[in-house]
C-alpha cells in the first residue's frame, strides 16, 4: 500500500477513499509465534493531503487464529482497529508514534498496518468450547467468581474453636 506524494497532490484538500485487502499472514506468523493463521486485512478509510503532511484515517478489519490458553484449540479472534496516522516530510515534524516520516516522496502504509496488528494480538484467548478443557487437577480446580465470593463468605463466618475465646477479649477488657 504505497502512494507517491506527486500522485496524491492532485487531491489536495479532498478526501481520497481507501478500500483494499492486504495479506500480512506471513509477517504476523514470523513476528508472533502464537499466530496460526490470519484472514486478509480489510483496509478502509480516507487519505487527506495537506500543505506539509498527509493524514490517513485507517479502519482495519479481519480475524486472527490463535491457540486457546487452556486447550490449544484454534480460536478465531476478530479485530476492528481504527487509527489516524500522519505522514510528514521532515524528521523534526515527527512528534509522536502517530507521526511517520515519508520515504522520499512515497508513503508506505503497510509497516503501520503490520505494527497495529501486532499490538492488537492478545496475550491469551479462550475458546468458547471448554468441554475438553481440564476443570480440575491435583490440588486445584477452576471456579467462577461467584463461587469464589461464596467461599470467602463461608470462611469469614467460620471461627476456629481454638480461638473462640478470643472473640470476646476486647469486650471483657472494656468492662
Of the candidates 29, 130, 127, the one whose C-alpha atom is nearest the C-alpha of residue 76 is 127
pLDDT at 22: 92
Q: What's the grid cell of residue 120?
A: 492488537
Q: What is the mean pLDDT of residues 64-91?
A: 87
For the chain, give every domain's residue range: 2-120, 141-174
Backbone angles phi, psi at 107, to 5 degrees: -120, 120
DSSP H or E segment with residue 169: helix 169-174
Report the distance separating Cα 4 and Cα 53, nearest Å.
13
Of the candidates 128, 124, 127, 121, the one whose C-alpha atom is nearest the C-alpha of residue 64 is 121
Lowest mean pLDDT among 46-60, 139-153, 159-173: 159-173
173 pLDDT exceeds 70? no
74 pLDDT exceeds 60? yes
pLDDT at 172: 62
Please say whether the beta carbons of 73 and 88 come within 8 A: no
Amino acid at each position: 500500500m504505497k502512494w507517491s506524494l506527486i500522485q496524491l497532490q492532485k487531491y489536495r484538500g479532498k478526501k481520497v477513499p481507501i478500500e483494499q485487502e492486504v495479506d500480512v499472514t506471513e509477517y504476523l506468523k514470523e513476528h508472533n509465534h502464537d499466530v496460526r493463521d490470519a484472514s486478509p486485512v480489510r483496509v478502509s478509510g480516507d487519505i487527506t493531503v495537506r500543505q506539509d503532511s498527509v493524514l490517513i484515517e485507517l479502519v482495519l478489519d479481519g480475524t486472527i487464529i490463535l491457540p486457546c490458553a487452556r486447550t490449544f484449540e484454534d480460536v478465531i479472534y476478530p479485530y476492528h482497529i481504527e487509527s489516524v496516522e500522519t505522514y510528514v516530510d521532515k524528521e523534526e515534524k515527527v512528534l509522536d508514534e502517530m507521526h511517520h516520516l515519508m520515504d522520499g516522496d512515497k508513503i508506505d502504509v503497510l509497516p503501520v498496518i503490520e505494527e497495529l496488528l501486532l499490538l492488537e494480538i492478545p496475550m491469551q484467548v479462550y475458546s468458547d468450547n471448554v468441554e475438553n478443557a481440564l476443570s480440575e487437577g491435583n490440588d486445584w480446580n477452576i471456579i467462577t467468581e461467584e463461587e469464589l465470593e461464596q467461599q470467602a463468605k463461608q470462611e469469614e463466618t467460620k471461627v476456629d474453636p481454638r480461638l473462640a475465646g478470643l472473640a470476646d477479649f476486647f469486650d471483657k477488657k472494656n468492662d
